[in-house]
């Protein structure tokens, strides 16, 4: 709970996720395909208004944008931190500071005093971090119905803010707020939610069968500053969540998410009276002592905004946050049954009547949309080659040019892929844009690009990349990383005067000339769209023929 009270003592602190979803409209992306004068355009146009092969990709990483319904535009969803969060959890599982009630209160006082944070800032950070953590674990396509139960104080305010953000993420929140706080901050939050037509449900109108009505329940009743025994109606609400958490089969009950402290727990001693057993705990600023007693599968921390004076004074050991996120999984990541991992894709239909007649144009349209959506390295592609015995090998490379003649990438001519292509000049490319539920397969024959073209591209690269290409005898065995580092330093010194770095003879480009394209769009119940373009001879001319493949 990062929301503060009117006094200088708050009961929580929090954080947010900076990389959250923003709207992605196919129509806007399509427009950028036809008119794209910006110098950072991935496909700048030449003077004759045709596409040229050079790619200039913006160095950025923005959120993900799955779509919502057949025929609809791409709609916003929270970014999936997924693997990034899990990767950071190993470090986060190390010694993480747990706060006493006194230290937690003092930290809030200092944040709102000499460190300049306002009450509404902290509450906003808290609610946003809770919404982002919830969205990472409980995906929209299976957990859209969320009930937020709010108490009268700061924890309740955090819940109100979380509900607003969940609404904008695409969830369908409802709110139970029995004891409304009349202060302007809280009244303003209620007004914001009412303007979004988010329903407020009185306690007496809560359905008897909550599992039928809600997929997730957010416990935002009481935080670490609460003392005493909960009064009506919160005693009843807490017992309702206790009874739900006692249901062993998680498929038959809503998931329970507690903000900072499970309501009814002692802030330091934990669950001393047989209280709520939440599935997720979102600790804020730093976990409180009671979090050591949390046994649920999902423990997240928010609070990347904590400034150095707080870290130093209290000796806080906090985990590193992945990327630009301000939420991080802490503790042991839950075990996963691999066979149960699945996504039910929700996307616009991909219809034959809607795609371009030329597969290159269709690829450029989808590529522009991937760039517009801010996907990380949309030009990354899996390149599959095979040697003369037909033994395949795959690796990721970066597309560096495309036009109506083919797809271009650069590499070391001594690498395994180069040896394969020398023996068997047929290859396949795969572009996978996970956030958009899309992939593109391309098959064809490969040849080297002209030496002048390779030389021009080589000298357009950063000098460090040029030196790296010289140092690396790709795919050969070396004694250790220090060999590369030593050779690199020697070359750095050799060309420290800024003189031209010559392109090595063993480095250059390849171009794949396609004979087949397949455009794949993920759909619900695995009924995916697959449109294949293959070449046919018609009246002495080669044309592209479109046909639908069974998923």
State the DSSP string of 68-120: -STTPPB-------HHHHHHHHHHHTS----B-HHHHHHHHHHHHTTT---HH
Q: Which of 201, 297, 286, 225 is nearest to 256 (CA)?
A: 297
298 is in an annotated binding site: no
Note the pLDDT tens digit of each residue in 350-362: 999 999 999 999 9
pLDDT bracket for residue 73 (50, 70, 90): very low
pTM of the predicted model as reported, rounded to 2 decimal places = 0.61
**Is residue 287 scored above 80 in pLDDT?**
yes
Q: Distance between CA atoms of 286 and 81, rounded to whole angstroms?
A: 20
Q: Where are the domains of the chain?
A: 101-330, 359-548
Using omega within 30 degrees of 0 as the cis cutoff, is the peptide bond preceding 233 cis? Answer: yes
Note the pLDDT tens digit of each residue in 422-463: 999 999 999 999 999 999 999 999 999 999 999 999 999 999
Radius of gyration over every alpha carbon of the chain, rounded to an integer in angstroms? 28
Tokens of 347: 């996307």
Note the pLDDT tens digit of each residue in 465-507: 999 999 999 999 999 999 999 999 999 999 999 999 999 999 9
Q: Distance between CA atoms of 211 and 213, rounded to whole angstroms?
A: 6
**Is residue 93 scored above 80 in pLDDT?**
no
Report the pLDDT value the prediction gives residue 461, as an integer from 0 to 100: 96
Q: What's the mean per-residue pLDDT of the chain?
A: 84
- φ/ψ of 121, rounded to 5, equals -60, -50
Report the pLDDT value the prediction gives residue 220, as an integer from 0 to 100: 97
Q: What is the enclosing helix (H) or strand (E) of 505?
A: none
270 is in an annotated binding site: no
Q: Distance between CA atoms of 217 and 211, rounded to whole angstroms?
A: 10
Q: Distance between CA atoms of 111 and 104, rounded to whole angstroms?
A: 11
Report the pLDDT value the prediction gives residue 340, as an integer from 0 to 100: 79
Superfamily name with CATH number, domain 359-548: Electron Transport, Fmn-binding Protein; Chain A (2.30.110.10)
Note the pLDDT tens digit of each residue in 200-235: 999 999 998 899 999 999 999 998 878 778 889 999
Tokens of 284: 């804020």
494 CB neighbour count, 10 Å cutoff: 12
223 is in an annotated binding site: yes
Cβ-Cβ contacts under 8 Å for 34 (sequence gap 6 or more): none
Whether the CA torsion 119, 121, 124, 126 is positive or negative: it is: negative
**Is residue 6 scored above 60 in pLDDT?**
no
Report the pLDDT value the prediction gives residue 20, as an integer from 0 to 100: 31
Report the pLDDT value the prediction gives residue 460, as an integer from 0 to 100: 97
229 is in an annotated binding site: yes
Report the pLDDT value the prediction gives residue 98, as an integer from 0 to 100: 94
pLDDT bracket for residue 53 (50, 70, 90): very low
Report the pLDDT value the prediction gives residue 145, as an integer from 0 to 100: 97
pLDDT bracket for residue 94 (50, 70, 90): low
**Is residue 140 scored above 60 in pLDDT?**
yes
Report the pLDDT value the prediction gives residue 251, as an integer from 0 to 100: 78
| Average pLDDT rounded to a whole number, residues 317-323 | 89
Tokens of 314: 């209290």
157 is in an annotated binding site: yes
Tokens 């144009």 locate to 361
Please say whether the beta carbons of 537 and 382 come within 8 A: no
Cβ-Cβ contacts under 8 Å for 444 (sequence gap 6 or more): 406, 426, 427, 512, 513, 514, 515, 516
526 is catalytic: yes
Q: Residues for the chain: how many in total?
A: 551
Give CA angle at 333 (305, 268), nearest 5°.
Answer: 60
DSSP string, 234-301: HHHHHHHHHHHHT-S-GGGS-EEEEESS-TTSBTTTB--SS----SEEEEESS-BGGGGG--SSEEEE
Which residues pair with residue 529 across a beta bridge? 521
Report the pLDDT value the prediction gives residue 466, as an integer from 0 to 100: 96
Which residues pair with residue 199 across a beta bridge? none
- Pick the residue with more confidence: 248 or 517? 517
Q: Buried b / exposed e across 79-96, counting CB within 10 Å, b at 16+?
A: bbbeebbbbbbeebeeeb
Q: How many helices (H) and strands (E) does the chain have?
A: 14, 16
| Average pLDDT rounded to a whole number, residues 148-168 | 96
Report the pLDDT value the prediction gives residue 81, as an integer from 0 to 100: 43
228 is in an annotated binding site: yes
Report the pLDDT value the prediction gives residue 55, as an integer from 0 to 100: 58
Q: What is the enclosing helix (H) or strand (E) of 121?
A: helix 119-137
Which residues pair with residue 258 across a beta bridge? 219, 281
Domain covering 101-330 assigned CATH 3.40.50.10260 in the classification? yes
| Average pLDDT rounded to a whole number, residues 360-384 | 96
Q: Buried b / exposed e across 99-119, counting CB within 10 Å, b at 16+?
A: bebebbbbbbbbbbeeeebeb
Q: Distance between CA atoms of 337 and 345, rounded to whole angstroms?
A: 20
Q: How far is CA 306 from CA 123, 132, 285, 356, 505, in A?
A: 14, 18, 7, 51, 52
Report the pLDDT value the prediction gives residue 179, as an integer from 0 to 100: 94
Please say whether the beta carbons of 489 and 415 come within 8 A: no
Which residues pair with residue 518 across a beta bridge? 441, 532
Please say whether the beta carbons of 367 and 374 come within 8 A: no
524 CB neighbour count, 10 Å cutoff: 12
- φ/ψ of 51, rounded to 5, equals -70, 140
Report the pLDDT value the prediction gives residue 513, as an integer from 0 to 100: 98
Identify the active-site residue in 45, 526, 530, 536: 526
224 is in an annotated binding site: yes
Please say whether the beta carbons of 211 and 250 come within 8 A: no
Q: Distance between CA atoms of 299 and 287, rounded to whole angstroms?
A: 9
pLDDT bracket for residue 1 (50, 70, 90): very low
Please state which of the ranges 4-8, 262-266, 367-371, 487-491 shows the lowest mean pLDDT.
4-8
């Amino acid at each position: 709970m990062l929301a503060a009270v009117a006094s200088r003592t708050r009961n929580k602190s929090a954080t947010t996720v900076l990389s959250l979803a923003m709207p992605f409209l196919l129509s806007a992306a399509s427009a950028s395909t036809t008119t794209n004068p910006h110098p950072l355009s991935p496909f700048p146009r030449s003077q004759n208004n045709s596409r040229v092969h050079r790619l200039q990709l913006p160095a950025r990483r923005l959120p993900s944008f799955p779509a919502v319904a057949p025929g609809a535009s791409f709609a916003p969803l929270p970014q999936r931190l997924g693997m990034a969060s899990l990767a950071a959890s190993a470090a986060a599982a190390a010694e993480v500071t747990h706060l006493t009630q006194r230290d937690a209160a003092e930290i809030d006082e200092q944040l709102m005093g000499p460190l300049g944070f306002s009450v509404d800032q902290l509450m906003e950070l808290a609610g946003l971090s809770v919404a982002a953590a919830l969205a990472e674990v409980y995906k929209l396509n299976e957990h859209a119905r969320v009930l937020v139960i709010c108490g009268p104080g700061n924890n309740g305010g955090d819940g109100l803010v979380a509900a607003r953000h969940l609404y904008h993420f695409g969830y369908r929140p409802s709110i139970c707020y029995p004891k409304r706080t009349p202060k302007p901050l809280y009244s303003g939050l209620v007004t914001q939610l009412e303007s979004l037509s988010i329903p407020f449900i009185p306690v007496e109108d809560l359905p008897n069968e909550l599992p039928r009505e809600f997929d997730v329940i957010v416990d935002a009743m009481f935080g670490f500053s609460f003392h005493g025994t909960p009064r009506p109606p919160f005693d009843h609400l807490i017992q309702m969540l206790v009874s739900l958490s006692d249901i062993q089969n998680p498929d038959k009950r809503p998931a329970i998410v507690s903000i900072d402290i499970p309501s009814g727990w002692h802030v330091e001693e934990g669950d001393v009276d047989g209280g709520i057993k939440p599935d997720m705990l979102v600790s804020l600023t730093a976990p409180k002592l009671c979090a050591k007693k949390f046994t649920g599968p999902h423990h997240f921390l928010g609070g990347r905004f904590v400034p150095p004076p707080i870290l130093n004074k209290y000796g806080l050991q906090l985990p590193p946050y992945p990327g630009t996120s301000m939420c991080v999984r802490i503790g042991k990541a839950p075990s996963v049954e691999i066979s149960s991992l699945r996504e039910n894709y929700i996307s616009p239909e991909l219809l034959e009547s809607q795609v371009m007649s030329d597969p290159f144009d269709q690829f450029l349209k989808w590529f522009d949309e991937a760039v517009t959506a801010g996907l990380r390295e949309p030009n990354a592609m899996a390149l599959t080659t095979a040697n003369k015995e037909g033994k395949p090998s795959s690796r990721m490379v970066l597309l560096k040019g495309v036009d109506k003649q083919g797809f271009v990438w650069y590499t070391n001519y001594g690498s395994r892929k180069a040896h394969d292509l020398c023996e068997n000049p047929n290859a396949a490319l795969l572009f996978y844009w996970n956030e958009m539920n899309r992939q593109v397969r391309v098959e064809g024959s490969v040849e080297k690009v002209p030496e002048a073209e390779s030389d021009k591209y080589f000298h357009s690269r950063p000098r460090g990349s040029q030196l790296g290409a010289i140092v690396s005898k790709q795919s050969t065995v070396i004694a250790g990383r220090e060999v590369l580092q030593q050779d690199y330093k020697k070359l750095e010194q050799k060309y420290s005067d800024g003189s031209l770095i010559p392109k090595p003879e063993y480095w250059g480009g390849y171009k794949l000339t396609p004979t087949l394209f397949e455009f794949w769009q993920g759909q619900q119940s695995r009924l995916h769209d697959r449109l294949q373009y293959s070449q046919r001879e018609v009246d002495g001319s080669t044309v592209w023929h479109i046909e639908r493949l069974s998923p």
